[in-house]
Structure 1
Amino acid sequence: MMKTHVRRNGMATMLLVAAIFGGQRLSGQGCVAAHSNQRAMDELVRAWDGGTKYGWSIHNLTVDIGYRFFNSNKYFIGDEEIARANAIRNHQNIFDVGVEYRFTPQWSFIADVPVFDGTRNQLYPPSGIFQVSGVGDITLGAQRWIFRPPTEFGGDIAVSASVKIPTGINNATGSALYKGKTVKATADQSMQPGDGGWGLLLATQGYKSLWKSADLYGQAQYLFNPRDTNGVVTFRSQPGQGVMSVTDQYLYRMGISQGLPKLKGVALSLGARGEGVPVRDLMGGSNGFRRPGSVISLDPGLMVNVRRTTLSVNGPWALRRDRPPSVPEIKYGTTNGDAFFADYTVLIGVSHHF
């Protein structure tokens, strides 16, 4: 039996979003170590704050506090779910504190501090119950709205760039049972708060009014992690998987939000969400152990705005899950690896303008 407590860093994401942006990243994917985060979009709710439609010019500082949780216990090889009597259960609680300081109506400083807490009952060697907690990989960056808000055409597009700092611990260990002996083992990659690499996060988001109280929205981001592997031992015997890979991550969303005519500051949303870890990174090597995978979800949401505070709730429900072979599995011709995925994720966020 293994219990690991880590109070330092932890990479995670709580997607605090407006209308339907519940977040990063992700929703989670269980064994697939994607912790993508995303910026809030309060533009999607009819705030009627201070006599303006979106309250653009009266708030300089916004603080977002988000929380999400999920249990991944559905076993997949490729895109096929396979029944398994003794499923691994990966339970994760992901918190996130996001800050945006607007210098001008178009330019903002953005920062995110994720906090991770998770448990995993691991049945294969080394077996045990892994528990990991800690602050994750912090991101610092800037965001710019292309057009000066509020725009006459009822829409806008923002672009942002952030540096991901490897502040999260990436080698959490504890005591576990391995070949009949108690050993010090490394927690699974999906349980590690950080990944051990500097990264560049590029993102964009936008919205466009459609009809009365309705908006089309979209968001996409990609985390570039140039580092190949981080040297953390995995206890895996498969060729090329002895140390952990430092993986890219991605997230995209698109849908429609609809304000309720008789309830000012309340909006419902429905859209599609995709996220995952690619087989190969766009920059740098893709060696070592990773679980590439993707999840496509239906993403309903609710948003309620009262004065300067917005509450958002989202429940992405997985429609398709896939775990393709990794680079070492392709290179050495070994069996396609597996992954456990969650059916759904619950995301709750509170955003306040100061």
Structure 2
Amino acid sequence: MIKDKRRMWLTAALAIAAFAGEDRASAQGCVAAHSNQRSMDELVRSLDGGTKYGWSIHNLTVDIGYRMFNSNKYFIGDEEIARPNAIRNHQNIFDMGVEYRFTPQWSFIADVPVFDGSRNQLYPPTGVFQVSGIGDITLGAQRWIFRPPTEFGGDVAVSASVKIPTGINNATGSALYKGQVVKATADQSMQPGDGGWGLMLATQGYKSMWTRADLYGQAQYLFNPRDTNGVLTFRSQPGQSVMSVTDQYLYRLGVSQGVPKLRGVALSLGVRGEGVPVRDLLGASNGFRRPGSVISLDPGLMVNVRRTTLSVNGPWALRRDRPPSVPELANNTKNGDAFFADYTVLVGLSHHF
């Protein structure tokens, strides 16, 4: 009976991880979705002779993540439009994560993102913008629902974190505007921070399937109650003169399979979705934002050697969409546009001390 209940809770949590936010918009590229996924080295640590959930009760884990993409495909709605002069938005996002486990189930978690990007802006103010800086830091706690190790070969973690507005949200650059060189605000997608306090809720889980294979799922949603942050955008469209503080979300679902005769090596294949919704779940959604969605095929490789795990993922976009924002809907203006990337490169390195 206990095992049946555990299976029921695990299945429900994996379903949440798979479908949370599916009916909302998501995106990358021009759309300012900077969230990184947390490491899931539980999927491969056991393949190298270790046990899932770490090496001791009091253990420190440090994750270093890197995300890169170059968005140059122009979309209005879900339709790609050919343009002779494409905006190229290149972004590098680094993320340092720390997890300190107090008990087998409870952990302190923290993430510090570092943003570096460039954008050749073709509409006034016209120029090449280069922005670098620390993003918004998150601090929180995570709990595995079932005490490890479990008898049924799986578990689910839930977490809650506070997002602190530590990142710059008003970065500027030199640009040409009405025949003069001016200091102009960089595009919203280039800002390391958003200027608002937020709450990040997340879950991740896995369930052993067949030999050396696991079903995995992850989901996270960032609540940003603040409406706008007061940073001017230089835009003339009604209701878009200041930047909106947007919600963001990410979800993944897939299967990981250990490679035969290769110790501590696993391949994975799944679906990944991410983005910025049209309307926030808490608070108003005025100001300028680019809501949008990307759903990608998400192949990956994980390699574990003792206490270190390397993961590489290459999500390839299957569907991209840029729906109208709240000001565009309210003023019956034309549907906004956005540039998207064809693929993203994600690299993670996790070490257990």
Give TM-score, length-normalised by structure 2: 0.91
User: What's 2:19 paired with?
Assistant: none
Q: Write the distance in 2 (CA, Å) between the matches of 1:91 and 1:175.
A: 18
Q: Secondary structure at the match of 2:261?
A: coil
Structure 1 position 244 matched with structure 2 position 243: yes
Structure 1 position 66 matched with structure 2 position 65: yes
> Alignment partner for residue 51 of structure 2, among 33, 50, 53?
53
Aligned residues: 327
Q: Write the distance in 1 (CA, Å) between the matches of 2:133 and 2:344.
A: 21
Aligned residue identity for 1:106: Q
Structure 1 position 138 matched with structure 2 position 137: yes
User: What's 2:272 paired with?
Assistant: 273
Cα deviation, residue 175, structure 1:
1.6
User: What's 1:174 paired with?
Assistant: 173
Aligned residue identity for 1:165: I
Aligned residue identity for 1:236: R
Aligned residue identity for 1:331: A
CA deviations over 1:197-216 (Å, ceiling 9, x no partner) = 00000001110000010000
CA contact (8 A) 1:99 1:111 kept: yes
User: What's 1:11 paired with?
Assistant: none
User: What's 1:212 paired with?
Assistant: 211
Q: Write the distance in 2 (CA, Å) between the matches of 1:282 and 1:219.
A: 20
Cα deviation, residue 174, structure 1:
1.9
User: What's 1:89 paired with?
Assistant: 88
CA contact (8 A) 2:47 2:258 kept: no
CA deviations over 1:132-191 (Å, ceiling 9, x no partner) = 000110000000000011111000000000000000000001221011111110000000
Cα deviation, residue 124, structure 1:
0.4
Written as runs of structure 1 = structure 2, the 5 A alignment for 1:52-201 is: 52-54=50-52, 56-58=54-56, 60-201=59-200
Aligned residue identity for 2:92: N
Aligned residue identity for 1:56: G
CA contact (8 A) 1:47 1:53 kept: yes
Aligned residue identity for 1:102: R
Cα deviation, residue 55, structure 1:
5.3
Cα deviation, residue 48, structure 1:
4.8
Cα deviation, residue 79, structure 1:
0.1
Q: Which runs of 5+ in 2 are unaligned?
A: 1-25
CA contact (8 A) 1:293 1:323 kept: yes
User: What's 2:7 paired with?
Assistant: none
Cα deviation, residue 222, structure 1:
0.5
CA RMSD across the alignment: 1.2
CA contact (8 A) 1:48 1:54 kept: no
Cα deviation, residue 261, structure 1:
2.2
CA deviations over 1:55-112 (Å, ceiling 9, x no partner) = 5342610000111111000000000000000000000111110000000000000000
CA contact (8 A) 2:27 2:292 kept: no
CA contact (8 A) 1:46 1:53 kept: yes
CA deviations over 1:228-259 (Å, ceiling 9, x no partner) = 00000000000000000000001110000000
CA contact (8 A) 2:145 2:156 kept: yes
Q: Write the distance in 1 (CA, Å) between the matches of 2:184 and 2:209.
A: 54
**Quick one: structure 1 residues 55 and 145, their matched pair in 2 at CA, closer, same or farther if it must change by over 3 Å?**
closer
The ranges of structure 1 where at least 4 consecutive aligned residues each deviate by more than 6 angstroms after the TM superposition are none
User: What's 2:230 paired with?
Assistant: 231
Aligned residue identity for 1:34: A
Q: Write the distance in 2 (CA, Å) between the matches of 1:219 and 1:30.
A: 21
